[in-house]
Structure 1
Amino acid sequence: MAPPEQGDEAAQLRGYVDFLRDSLRMKAEGLTAKQLHTRHEPSALTLGGLLKHLAFVEHWWFSCVLHGRDFAEPWASVDWDADEDWDYNSAAANTPAELFALFDATIAESDRITDEALATPEGLDTIAVRHPADEDPVNLRYILLHMIEEHGRHAGHADLIRESIDGSTGE
């Protein structure tokens, strides 16, 4: 599914986020657990690690930053000081079904939160609850733009990893 070429700002931002989410999902679909955890040397990145990382990123920005909530599981019990890359590194312990379920559930929650915010008079200008004390707060528009950047960057990584596994290329 291509991103929309026309529409209001919210529809276009969401369309690009959805396109990039789908691109990453497509790169990881149909692979075995071993393939999902295959590295593209010299990088330590794996497709499984990218799925889990992006699930974390979605949870952080929509649930924790925009709504001000605490981490939910599986993130709440992580010792982030011991492994700041836990989201990437722990993916090897997950099955493909677990990784896709986490990715999909987190995106569904992000979409629900976005729908709620867009239904308010503030819409894209909805201010996030959480922000560093020394920085200006961000709004939903910023978060959606950040999701385009984050998913886009990692979709590029996913292209290289998938091609190194089985030669698959494309969106």
Structure 2
Amino acid sequence: MSDEPPWEPPVAGDEIGHLLGALDRQRMTFWWKAEGLDAAGLSARVGASSLTLGGLLKHLTGVEVTAGTWRMDGSSPGSPWTDVDWEAQPDWDFTSAADDSPEQLYSGYVEAVAATRARQRAYIEEHGLDHIIEWGKQWGVDMSLRRMLFDILEEYARHTGHADLLREAVDGRVGEDPPPDWAPPAEWT
């Protein structure tokens, strides 16, 4: 058993271990930055930005859901993601979060990450990182699963930085990593 915290990627692993470990680190750090707030904390803003932790939670829930379904294998992400007119409401996930309770935002995110982690790991085991996924086909591009996972990692890195600023403004929580006694949601282990 390792003494490393669950968010720490492998120090000397293979490509899959490093990629999934880095992605999980971003997921867990984002969660630590967003967890445990009430509706006021989730709707707090910084400066002129309309970005909120609640909006980020809902947006990244959508990223997870679509990354584990239609982007990967063409399957439907289901409602509410298929019910939205994304052309007319491109920021729906960010803006509609204000209508959701903290419990809805938190449980939706935790469940989406758990399901997507499991689906991606199974998909990698069956097909490997070089497998061409559905996502690129809309642009006439052969996109590998590896590329999509790196895109998600980049998206998380950007939004975890946003969450850093927002959480500090809400209650002063700062830091690169969760404290040593912190644990991710049980659904992720």
Q: Is this a same-fold pair by TM over 0.5?
A: yes
Alignment gaps of 5+ in structure 1: none
Q: What is the Cα deviation at residue 133 of structure 1?
A: 4.8
Aligned mate of 2:168, from 156, 163, 167 = 163
Q: CA-to-partner distance for each residue in 1:104-154, whole Å, 9 max, x for gaps?
A: 11112211221221222x311121024245442211111111111000000
Instruction: Tell me which residue corresponds to 1:153.
Output: 158
Structure 2 residue corresponding to 1:60, chosen from 57, 66, 89: 66
CA-CA distance at 1:97 after TM superposition: 1.3
In 1, Cα distance between equivalents of 2:85 and 2:139:
25
Counterpart residue type for residue 148 of structure 2: I
Inter-partner Cα distance in structure 1 for 2:54 and 2:138 = 34
Contact 2:9 2:17 in 1 (8 A): no
Number of residue pairs matched?
170
Specify every segment of 5 or more residues in structure 2 that has no aligned partner in the other structure, as ranges: 1-6, 177-189
Partner of residue 118 from structure 1, selected from 124, 127, 131: 124
Distance 1:36 1:134, change over 3 A: closer
Of 16, 38, 42, which aligns to 2:48?
Answer: 42
Distance 2:136 2:130 in 1: 15
- Structure 2 letter corresponding to 1:28: A
Alpha carbons 1:4, 1:12 under 8 Å: kept: yes
> Which of 68-77 and 44-53 deviates more?
68-77
Write the letter of the residue equivalent to 1:136. Answer: V
2:23 paired with 1:17: yes
Query: Aligned with 1:76: secondary structure?
Result: coil
Q: Deviations over 1:13-62 (max 9, x none)?
A: 11111110111110111211111011112111100100110111122223
Contact 1:66–1:139 (8 Å) recurs in 2: no
Q: TM-score, normalised by structure 2?
A: 0.84
Instruction: Provide the C-alpha distance between the structure 2 equivalents of 1:63 and 1:134, rounded to a whole number of angstroms.
Output: 18
- Relative to 1, partners in 2 of residues 1:116 and 1:95: Cα closer, same or farther, differing over 3 Å? same
Please, which of 94, 106, 111 is the counterpart of residue 105 of structure 1?
A: 111
Question: How well do the aligned residues superpose, as a CA RMSD in angstroms?
Answer: 1.4
**Which deviates more from structure 2 when the two are superposed, residues 28-37 or residues 125-134?**
125-134
Greater shift in the superposed pair: 53-62 or 89-98: 53-62
